[in-house]
Structure 1
Amino acid sequence: MSSGSDLCHTFANHVAQTHFEDLSPEAVDAAKKSILDVVGVSLAGSGMEPAVHGVADVVLDAGGRPEASVLGFACKLPAQSAAFVNGVMAHCLDFDDQTPWGAHPDSSVVPAVLALAERKGKVSGRDLITSVALGQDLFVRLRCNVGWRQDWNLSSVVGAFSSAAAASFIQGLSREQIAHALGIASMQSSGTMQVIFGIGSDLRGMYAGFTAQGAVMAALLAEKGITGIADLFEGKAGIFNVYFGGKYERDKMLEGLGKEYLGSSMLYKAWPAVGNVHTYIHATIELMREHGLKASEIEQIKVFVGDFHQRMCYPIELRREPTTLMDAKFSLPFCVALAAVRGGIRIADFSALALRDPEVLAVARKVVPVADSSLDWKVKIPDGRMEITTRDGRRFERAGDNVPGSPEAPLSWDAIVTKFRDCASVAARPIAARKIEHAQEMARNLESLDDATMLLKAFTQ
């Protein structure tokens, strides 16, 4: 496959030419935070999401060469299998990081590069950071500059390429091999938003596993000489024409390429629920706190919703009383009710017991969605707005602005470390506090490690 003008060759050159020294301090910091954050939420997923155990049973039963760690289960599997299970766990709680425009790159990028780093051995912290920064950068460039109509699930459709690029860097592929790997990864570029909108499916929390596994496979096949697609993105039947009707902004995808690494914009969640409900969660917590309200005083909660928010409200009865943890995390009425009753949300608050909590369910039945087209999702979803009416006739309104974990109020390192401790404490297998502390210290200083996989040894030995 000759090096042509298609963007896959441009991106391949970019990945092949990037060095740690090219990254800004902000991009380095974001990559390190994302690595720690994904490891943490994966550990939590191993203990908190029941569906994970079915996945683990299938993959562990198949076995294979012990190349890479499965977080939370203290065992090793072939790199592809480990990337799959870890990817499933990374997104299953919807607690992983996201871009300011929505979508999740790192629940597939980080499991893929960690699996290959362990398989390869002696991958430096600098190289691990660079691989994640490259994956984040490519993801944002693609995600923000295609003609999306809330049809494709961009986390998996775009994530296939960002994860393959990151995996290719870890594997030390040439620019030609990287272009091939991107083409091979297109076989995993799939998934529609129905997996997000629907009710009752475990796949909504699992898609990152397929993407991470595909990225590992793409890099390993390209290394063995398997060829990709010459005009992958811009060909007549390429990704941009078929998936996005030919609507993409090439110049913006290339703007600042190699000079600005856009992963520095990554956001880290304060609560384990879909990012679009966080503005409502925050508004609820603040209204209850500011006015000293009790859940028993609430008569009605109006939530003003745009087009995407409405997806989290209907069918209204099923959203008010979700039957699975994944549906609960994507239910606006349930999340608002949980925040009102508990005064906050922690990882342990999303449990099978919470789904049956009569106080939470009673408040959820009082949540009424009100359509507001000014809150429709264009590029960045506007802050949600809500109104609480009490039984004695008082009315309180608030917009969910300055939300913890938003660009206006990003989580600090200390906050992310606190989240990591909370997540690691509910892993499937108990982890000693000293190991948790050692892991977060290594993540903060990852660029100094000669072997970045030392970070994982706290959870596998």
Structure 2
Amino acid sequence: MTPAADLSTELARFAATTRFSDLPLDVIDAAKKSLLDTIGVILAASGTEPAVRPLIELVQGNGGREECSILGFGGRVPASAAALANGALAHALDFDDQTPWGAHPDSSVVPTVLALAELKGDVTGQELIAAVAIGQELFIRLRRNVGWHMDWNLSTVVGCFSAAAAGSSVMKLSAEQTAHALGIASMQSGGTMELIFGTGSDLRGMYAGFTAQACVNAVLLAGRGMTGIRNLFEGEAGHFRVYFKGEFDREKMLQGLGREFHSGGMLYKYWPAVGNAHTYIHASIELMRENELTPDDVEEILVHVGDFQQRMCSPLDQRQAPGTLVDAKFSLPFLVGLSLAKGSMRISDFSTEALKDPVVLTLARKVVPVPDSSYDWTAKLPDGKVVVVTRDGRRIERLGSLVPGSADRPMTWDELFDKFRDCASAAAKPLPDASIVDTQKAIRDLESCGSVSTLLKLLD
């Protein structure tokens, strides 16, 4: 196999040669929405997720060159340290965007490109948009076309390559340098789904920080001449053979690359919880509203669960009374109980005190998972079915349909502006109202921005 034959060469060429003018309008729109959305959830996490504090304190305590900003907290640190901090914040609330097929590209892509753009200093809005779109496109093509068995955490195993490619675009690396950056970033390609399925760990909320930090370093090292792995993906012990048992579709990964884009369908979360739960959250909220039920009316709650959702219910007693905010966002019983109790779901519903809410916990303990293979996670995120048995013997069911933030009902710019306003107001250092409005406008019109530094100053 010659070096040019490896898939990494083709992906690197795409990342090095794609420009803003090559992007369809929906892809441009998605990249801008993802920037706004990711920055917003970073800000919100800074003020509402206590688990991030040790990492932020470490980054601040280490000091170093004042190159890039820690969003939400303020202060400047070396570029890779800023990417670590902002990346950890980006996924801490499980409120960041996702592809229609699940997994999260932008909690690693956006902190990477923001750190490198701030370090470089002369990056235009169009260049930033192109970088995000490149990262999203590569993430989707890799995620969709590997044989995944719910073993590796795709957001980290695949995310390091998409973020490294996006960062290489910001720094204008050549195709050869970009291929080297992908190889260097592979040193951070890891993390199993036990990270997601297990309980009690803060890492599930902060994994993207480690990816973003590694990708900033990979891009900077490649720019200084360090070489990567030539047969990165398809070699004898390459990525696809080792991580995915050799199950991948090279032809589909490359089909229409540079001409056809899939990132225009990025999805933005309406609620701060794992994406697989959103159909259940929606079903629960609407079931209570449509039938004018109160928590006291509920005798039992049946949730039909496929393979992935069963893990969100096991072990059941721990899921019904999660001990951390990170676990609460992955607990289907708790999320259904919260939705039934509140009739909505906001950032403020997740706090240390909320974990002890007697009404929510009582409802969570009434949740009974019903195994149902028709809700398995296959090509797309599955729907959810909730059945409430009332004290007077009624059996009321609701299927999660037309879920806000889904492909069937994507979030509009106005809805994303509302979400950003809530998030920015919850930051450790809340943004003033004027800065919130200016940031929204700056990102909405980002293609007209001569320097991303203008945007970043609004977030100080």
Q: Secondary structure at the match of 2:116?
A: helix
Give the match for residue 172 of structure 2: 172
- With the length of structure 1 as denominator, give the TM-score of the two structures: 0.99
Question: 2:307 is matched by which residue type in structure 1?
Answer: D
Q: How far apart, in 1, do the equivalents of 2:51 and 2:326 lie?
A: 10
Q: What does 1:52-451 align with in structure 2 at a 5 Å threshold?
A: 52-451=52-451
Deviation at 1:379, TM superposition (A): 2.0
Question: 1:40 is matched by which residue type in structure 2?
Answer: G
Deviating more after overlay: 369-378 vs 186-195: 369-378
- Structure 1 residue runs of 5 or longer lacking an equivalent are none
Q: How far apart, in 1, do the equivalents of 2:49 and 2:393 lie?
A: 40
Q: How far apart, in 2, do the equivalents of 1:2 and 1:12 lie?
A: 16
Fraction of identical pairs, as percent:
60
Q: How far apart, in 1, do the equivalents of 2:202 and 2:255 lie?
A: 38
Deviation at 1:266, TM superposition (A): 0.6
Q: How far apart, in 2, do the equivalents of 1:430 and 1:149 lie?
A: 41
Q: Deviations over 1:310-366 (max 9, x none)?
A: 000011110000010000000000000101111100111111111000011011111
Q: How far apart, in 1, do the equivalents of 2:218 and 2:425 lie?
A: 34
Q: How far apart, in 1, do the equivalents of 2:2 and 2:70 lie?
A: 38
Give the match for residue 4 of structure 1: 4
Assess if the C-alpha contact under 8 Å between 1:3 and 1:176 holds in 2. no
Q: How far apart, in 1, do the equivalents of 2:387 and 2:375 lie?
A: 15
Deviation at 1:265, TM superposition (A): 1.4
Deviation at 1:386, TM superposition (A): 1.2
Q: How far apart, in 1, do the equivalents of 2:200 and 2:457 lie?
A: 35
Q: Secondary structure at the match of 2:302?
A: strand
Deviation at 1:53, TM superposition (A): 1.1
Q: How far apart, in 2, do the equivalents of 1:230 and 1:186 lie?
A: 12
Q: Secondary structure at the match of 1:388?
A: strand
Q: Deviations over 1:101-148 (max 9, x none)?
A: 110000000000000000000200000000000000000000000000
Deviation at 1:430, TM superposition (A): 2.4
Q: Secondary structure at the match of 1:206?
A: helix
Q: Secondary structure at the match of 2:4?
A: coil
Assess if the C-alpha contact under 8 Å between 1:267 and 1:405 holds in 2. yes
The structure 1 segments of at least 4 consecutive aligned residues displaced by more than 3 Å after TM superposition are none
Assess if the C-alpha contact under 8 Å between 2:100 and 2:407 holds in 1. yes
Q: How far apart, in 1, do the equivalents of 2:378 and 2:426 lie?
A: 37
Aligned residues: 460
Deviation at 1:3, TM superposition (A): 5.0
Assess if the C-alpha contact under 8 Å between 1:127 and 1:170 holds in 2. yes
Q: How far apart, in 2, do the equivalents of 1:265 and 1:232 lie?
A: 28
- Structure 2 residue runs of 5 or longer lacking an equivalent are none
Deviation at 1:455, TM superposition (A): 1.8
Q: Secondary structure at the match of 2:135?
A: helix
Assess if the C-alpha contact under 8 Å between 2:3 and 2:231 holds in 1. no
Q: Deviations over 1:7-46 (max 9, x none)?
A: 0000111111111000000000000000000000000010
Q: How far apart, in 2, do the equivalents of 1:122 and 1:270 lie?
A: 34
Q: How far apart, in 2, do the equivalents of 1:358 and 1:209 lie?
A: 34
- With the length of structure 2 as denominator, give the TM-score of the two structures: 0.99
Q: How far apart, in 2, do the equivalents of 1:228 and 1:152 lie?
A: 22
Q: Deviations over 1:56-104 (max 9, x none)?
A: 1001000011111100111111100000000000000000000011100
Deviation at 1:2, TM superposition (A): 8.0
Give the match for residue 34 of structure 2: 34
Computed over aligned residues only, the root mean square deviation of the Cα atoms, in angstroms, reads: 1.0
Deviation at 1:260, TM superposition (A): 1.5
Deviation at 1:408, TM superposition (A): 0.3
Residue 34 of structure 2 corresponds to residue 45 of structure 1: no
Assess if the C-alpha contact under 8 Å between 1:134 and 1:261 holds in 2. no
Q: How far apart, in 1, do the equivalents of 2:160 and 2:36 lie?
A: 21
